[in-house]
Structure formats: C-alpha cells, structure tokens
A and B are shown apart, each in its own frame.
Chain A
Amino acid sequence: MSLASSVELINVTKQFQNSVAVDAIDLQIAAGTYCCLLGPSGCGKTTTLRMIAGHEAATSGDIILGAQNVTDLPPAKRGTAMMFQSYALFPHLTVINNVAFALKMRGVAKSDRLEKAAKLLHLVDMSPYAERLPAQLSGGQQQRVALARALITEPQVLLLDEPLSALDPFLRIRMRAELKRLQRELGITFIHVTHGQDEAMALADKIVLMNNGKIAQVGSPRDVYNAPRSEFVARFIGGHNVLMSGTKNIAVRFDQMKLLGSKAKTKGPSLSGHVSEIEYQGNAFHVSMKSDDGQELALHLAEAEFDAAPLDVGSLIITTWDPASAHALG
C-alpha cells in the first residue's frame, strides 16, 4: 500500500499554561517499527502522540517524518493517520461512508471512493457490515472500522491512542493480535499509546516508557524487562522487586527469587520475613512477603514447588536470589 516512514522527535517540548506536559524529549523510531508509548496517566504519552499527529502544536522542537520536517504542517499533510480513543466514528454515517470520508473530502468520485472503502473493509474483515451505522456495531467491530478509516489515506505512520482500552479483556487480547498482524502485513510504522505494560510487551518492537513528560527508558520489551534502568521503570513494567542493597536500589524479578527453608543458610544475599498474602495465579503462586527490615516484596513459586512446602499467611520464610540476576537502579 504505502511506504513506511521513520519518525524522529528532536528536543520536543509541550507546555500548557502552567505545566510542562512533554519535556524536551528526543526519540527515533525506525520505519516499519511497532512502537508503544507506555506510561501512567499524565506522563505525556498522549500529548506526544497528538503532536506527531499534528493535533497539538509543539511549543518547541522538531518533528521529522521520513525526510520531511512536519512540525508546522496540518495533520492531513503529514502522512500520518490517527485512530482515536473510543474511535470517534461519525455516528450519522454508515460504515462504508465512514471509511470513505477522507476520500470524499478530497473530492474523489463516489464510485471510486466506495470501491476503495470496500477494499479496506475487506482488509479488516468488515465487508458484511458496510451498511450499518456505528451504533449497530460491537466495540471490536467499531475498532476495525476505525482502522479501515484511518488506513484509507495510505498513511506512512499510523497513530493509535489507547486503541484497546474500550474493549473487554478477552476481546482486547484478540484485537491486539490483529493489530500486530495488520502492522506486519502493511509494513508501516505504528505508534501506539497505552498504559498497559502487558499490551506494550505483547505488541511492541520498541517500548518508550515515559514518566513526568520525560522518557524513562527506550528499548525492546526484553531489554526493558530484563534491565530496568530506574525504580520507576522496574515498578511500572511490573514483575520486579525493588530492594535496598546498601545505599543503592536493585531490581530482581519475582520469578528469580528463590525460597529457602526457615533454617537453611545461604552465602548469597537473603531476606527473611513473613508471608503477607498468597495468590494462586494458575501458572504460579504469587507470594507477597514483608521482610523483617520492613520491605515489601513478592516471589513466584511454581505449583509443584509450592506443594512441596505449602505456605500460609504468616509463615516465616527466607528468600534469596542470584546476584547476577539483580540490576542496579539509577
């Protein structure tokens, strides 16, 4: 369909009346990447996306798409298309007319634009629904229509603002697989804003984790998960204990914590404490504990391991970990 293009942000800042939403960020996204902007609400990820789309003017800095500086171009001239949160389908237009909207605005003849729209509906598996109104569609169907509508402009970069947040959990997992498939097939750059780390881990080639208007860490999901750089990253990406080690903090994954019997001795680092909560999660037991020096931590025990020495809330336990699996946090 269309060529992918790379996206580069250079020293981009967005200032609202008395707060800085995005604080001088630099970011490079290679063409054809599935990139997730991840972070808690208010971290500046949506503002960043809206600046790339052109719906928000950057206070300073430059936004480069491919070889073109698009900082001062209107949205439709940038080669981007945006899929809005809760889709923003036009309620008065049928599915096919929603998809054909961009072509109608450009003055494309009716038969041509409907033909093209029908092709895109086919791409997202929505052909039988062409004559329905958005109100007659389920959440997942609306999302497919929104995708088709955004893709009809043949964008080089597709921008998705929390596209899965309106769906129920089961459907969310199905739709995210479809987004990934679509991105692979089209080969264009996707930039996807989300606050769900599981969503970002599942989809992204590149995760951009943001906090307080700044980029906290950039990398592949495995890079970020295996080597969180700061306490914020370790906590936000989940699955990590943040522990004090001397004057510095370290992060250790829940599943790399080991359990020692209450009497056993270890040469490596260890913490003793009491079990505060036990959750069965199907593939493992999530055991929360409070150490004697007051730290909250958790470990994952395989079912067989748990059954060998069952624990109760209040049990005294000692945990240890391989120092090689611990990451110093900045």
Chain B
Amino acid sequence: MREGRSRSFYVLALFFAAYVLFLYGPMIAIFVLSFQGPSGGLTFPMNGFSFHWFEKLFAGNGIVDLGAAFRRSLALGIVVMIITVVLSVSAGLAFRKKFRGSGILFYMAIASLIVPSIVTSLGIALEFRVLDDVLRNYFLPSWETGMGLFTSGLGAHLTWTLPFGLLIMFAIFNRFDCRLEEAARDLGATPWQTFWHVILPIILPSVIGIGLFGFTLSWDELARSSQAIGAVNTLPLELQGLTTTVTNPDIYALGTVTTAVSFIVISVALGLILILQKRQKRFGNDAGKGL
C-alpha cells in the first residue's frame, strides 16, 4: 500500500462524472437553449443570444393557455398534497397498532405502485364511464360525465402519491421512540395533545417531505393524467402537446424559469435552516461528554 489514490478511484471518478453529466446535461442544454436568438430553433447551434423567448413566454402564447394549465396543475397538486399528507400520517399512526387485515390493506395500497400506471388510470377512466352510463340511463338523463380534474384526475394522482407517502410514514414511525409518547402521557398530555405537541413536531420534517413529494409527483404526472384527467389538461399534458406541435424554444424558457424558481426556493429553505442551527449553537454543546 502506498499513500495516494488507487487506480480504481480514477476509474470510478470518471464514471461518476459521466453520471453527473448524464443527469444534469439535459438541464444545462435547455438552460443554454432558452437564450436562443429570435431566429433560432429547438436544437443547437445557438443562433445568437437573446431574452426573446422569455419575453414571449411572459407576453403569453397564442396557441394554448399555459397560464390556465399552470393554475390547474397547481390547484390539483395542492389538493393532492393535502390529502396525501393527511391520509399518510393517519395511516402511519394506525398501522403502528396491529389490526385484522392490516397486511392485506398494506399490500393493496402498495399494489398501485407495481401495476403499470397506464393500466390503473385506464381502469379509473373506465370506472367513471360505467358510472356515467348508469347515472345517465337510470337516474339523471341530463348527466354528462363525472370525469374531471378533481374527481377521476385526483383519484388517479392519489393512486400514485399515497403509496409513497405511506411507505415514508412507515419508515418514520419505525424509528419513532414510543417512550416519548409514554413520557407525554406520564406528564398529563391527552392523546390529542401528545399528537400535537410531541409526535407532529418530531415527524414534521418528514411530513413536509411527504407533502413536497406528493406535490411533485402530481405536478409532473403524465401517464395517469393522460387517461383519467377528463376534458381539461394539466401543465405536463399541455407541454407534451406543445413539443409535438410547436417548434419554438419558448418552452425552454419556461423550463429555465421553473428551474430557477425551484433553486431559489431550495436556497431560501437551506439558508433558513442554517440560520436556525447557528442560533441554537450559541447555547453551547456538551453532547458525548462525561458530565
């Protein structure tokens, strides 16, 4: 053995560099192309440098209303997020106790991760059509369809986000120290107070994580939306439509703007966390000392 790095380090480093390039290459390409000159197209080479496509983006696009699709996706994403968080946390709490059929219920919830999403969402769409037929033929002759953003669309998205939320919650409660709940009970907290003052604050980072996860999964969902969304489109559906019909780099500009917003949000969050940690550090630390 000698000091210094072995040959395998350089091989693996090269491999890792290729991986990073593969991961971020597309994003960088889109970022660069969004500054394409007014006469440039969807691919390289760059035809000059301009903010033309950004201006066009904010001025509005004549063909489809991206703004309306954006608002629809946002609203759907937020509803999905709230339902995912509430149901995952409740289910996580419930599954800590053994109850009859818990195993079957768990596998049923997880199954929609394994079944191809197209199949699940086709099933949801069919289900709604059957419901529509029944309603139209037997009860409400004027009934058109129950399918829509917040019915079949919401359901399709939840089949995607709920299993993830549930699995995360299981992992969290696996590590949760139930002596903390006993301590709270010993100190006179009611079950609701224990949840509100002890359990929730401790699992809060994970709960926020599930919320963001649920939102993101819904935000860029394509396969399930394509089958079950009904008459109106979500943002990813509109964008997919655009890439096949439009040949302008303004969707690149949209990509750059959304990425920039994401990075700003992440930076602000990290900055806040650092500030809070620094404030707490003022009080000193004796962890691990024999005092």
Chain A residues close to B by CB (< 8 Å): 53, 55, 74-76, 81-82, 84-86, 88-92, 101-102, 104-106, 129, 131-133, 135-141, 149-150, 153, 168, 170-171
| Contact residues, B186-236 vs A (CB, 8 A) | 186-190, 193, 197-198, 201-202
Q: Is B283 an interface residue (CB 8 A)?
A: yes
A149 partner residues in chain B, CB cutoff 8 A: 183, 187
Of A74, A92, A129, A170, the residue contacting B185 (CB under 8 A) is A74
CA distance A190 to B183 in the complex (A): 17
B side interface size, CB within 8 A: 27
| A133 & B185 in contact (Cβ 8 Å cutoff) | no
Q: Is B63 an interface residue (CB 8 A)?
A: no
| A90 & B180 in contact (Cβ 8 Å cutoff) | yes
A-B pairs, 10 with minimum CB distance: A76-B188, A102-B187, A138-B291, A88-B179, A88-B183, A138-B286, A138-B289, A136-B285, A92-B201, A105-B189
A-B contact pairs, 30 of them (CB 8 A): A53-B186, A55-B182, A75-B186, A76-B186, A76-B189, A82-B182, A82-B183, A84-B179, A84-B183, A88-B180, A88-B182, A89-B183, A90-B198, A90-B202, A91-B180, A91-B202, A92-B202, A101-B184, A101-B189, A105-B184, A105-B193, A132-B283, A136-B283, A136-B284, A138-B287, A138-B288, A139-B290, A150-B186, A153-B187, A171-B291
CA distance A131 to B201 in the complex (A): 18
CA distance A106 to B197 in the complex (A): 13
Supply 15 further A-B pairs (C-beta < 8 A) apart from A91-B180, A105-B184, A140-B291: A53-B186, A75-B188, A76-B186, A76-B189, A85-B179, A88-B183, A90-B202, A105-B187, A105-B188, A105-B193, A131-B283, A136-B287, A139-B291, A141-B286, A153-B188
A138 partner residues in chain B, CB cutoff 8 A: 286-291
Decide yes or no: A82 and B186 within 8 Å by CB, A88-B179, A136-B280 being known contacts.
yes
Q: Is B177 an interface residue (CB 8 A)?
A: yes
| Contact residues, B161-193 vs A (CB, 8 A) | 177, 179-180, 182-190, 193
* Minimum CB–CB distance for A61 against chain B, Å: 21
B183 partner residues in chain A, CB cutoff 8 A: 82, 84, 88-90, 149
Decide yes or no: A133 and B290 within 8 Å by CB, A76-B187, A88-B183, A106-B188 being known contacts.
no
Chain B, residue nearest A77 (CB): B188
A168 partner residues in chain B, CB cutoff 8 A: 290
A75 partner residues in chain B, CB cutoff 8 A: 185-186, 188
Of B186, B188, B288, B289, the most chain A CB neighbours within 10 A belong to B186
| B290 & A132 in contact (Cβ 8 Å cutoff) | no
CA distance A326 to B191 in the complex (A): 56
B289 partner residues in chain A, CB cutoff 8 A: 138
B193 partner residues in chain A, CB cutoff 8 A: 105
Chain B, residue nearest A159 (CB): B186
A86 partner residues in chain B, CB cutoff 8 A: 179
CA distance A132 to B281 in the complex (A): 8
* Minimum CB–CB distance for B226 against chain A, Å: 43
A84 partner residues in chain B, CB cutoff 8 A: 179, 182-183
| B290 & A76 in contact (Cβ 8 Å cutoff) | no
B280 partner residues in chain A, CB cutoff 8 A: 132-133, 136
Of B179, B184, B283, B291, the residue contacting A141 (CB under 8 A) is B291
Chain B, residue nearest A53 (CB): B186
CA distance A129 to B198 in the complex (A): 21
* Minimum CB–CB distance for A49 against chain B, Å: 12
CA distance A76 to B189 in the complex (A): 8
Decide yes or no: A136 and B286 within 8 Å by CB, A92-B201, A105-B193, A141-B291 being known contacts.
yes
Decide yes or no: A102 and B188 within 8 Å by CB, A55-B182, A84-B179, A138-B291 being known contacts.
yes
